[in-house]
Every structure is written in structure tokens, then in C-alpha cells.
Amino acid sequence: MIYAKNTTKHRVRHSDTDDWQIVYYANYFRWYEHGRTELLRKIGIEVGEMETKEKLLIPVIEAKNNYFAPVKFDDELTLESQLTEIGNTHFKVDYVLFKRKQKISEGYTVHVFTDRNLKKKKIHAKIEKLKVKK
């Protein structure tokens, strides 16, 4: 089920690439973080404020990615991020990355809400509200 979705754009920088001028595999997860942060902002959660004011963290507990084609310097990319699972303490975001209309990669991350001592907390009310609406 899709509870919320967002699209972000990215142009590959030289610093994103390795010695072969291909994007280093771990950078996909940086782009996913950007997409997830913007998705959360769209539903009313400012991650920085949540961390400082509410003292909540959202660490990654699972991550997966499949790579279908290389990405190189200066490529323009479109990332689709979708909130697809909401539990009592966790949520999942799915990602699909495109170069023009070609699917470059797809993956997901799963996160839990914790306090600063990494003790699990109930899902944020703004995410819980999306679950109730569906």
C-alpha cells in the first residue's frame, strides 16, 4: 500500500563517482536519504526538528538495493520515494531511481523510531495518521 509518495531530482556530481567515473554504489543510499527526508517533510515531519525538539531518531534497521544500469557524472536522475509500510514502531520506504525513463535501481529502507538511547518508541503520530486514513 502507498501511504505517501514524493519525487526528487538529482544531478550526479563528480564526487559521487569512483575511479571508473561510475557512481559509487553506497551513494544511492545518500540519494535515498534525501528522498526520504523530503517525503517526510511532505507529510509534516521535519527530521532535524524532530531530532532536536522531540528527541526522536529514525535509524535504518534494514536496507536493500538492486542495480540495473550504471550511472555516470552529470546524469540527471529522478527518484520516486514511497512510504509503503507502517507498523507500531517502524516504517518502510521504497525507492525507484530513473535516468530519463530507464529504471536504474530500486530498493528500500526500513526505520524505527527511537529515543537518544536507541530505545524503540511508538511510530510518529503524523505517520500513524496516514495509516488511519487508508
pTM for the structure as a whole = 0.94
Q: Are strands 76-86 and 90-99 parallel, antiparallel or unpaired?
A: antiparallel
Nearest-angstrom CA–CA distance, 115 and 117: 5
Pairwise CA distance, residues 115 & 113, whole Å: 7
Q: Are 92 and 132 in contact (CB under 8 A)?
A: no
CB atoms closer than 10 angstroms to residue 70: 13
Run means of pLDDT, 10 residues per run, the chain, 134 residues: 96 94 95 98 95 94 98 97 96 97 97 96 93 71
- The confidence score (pLDDT) of residue 132 equals 76
| Number of residues in the chain | 134
The span from the CA of 31 to the CA of 50, in Å, is: 21
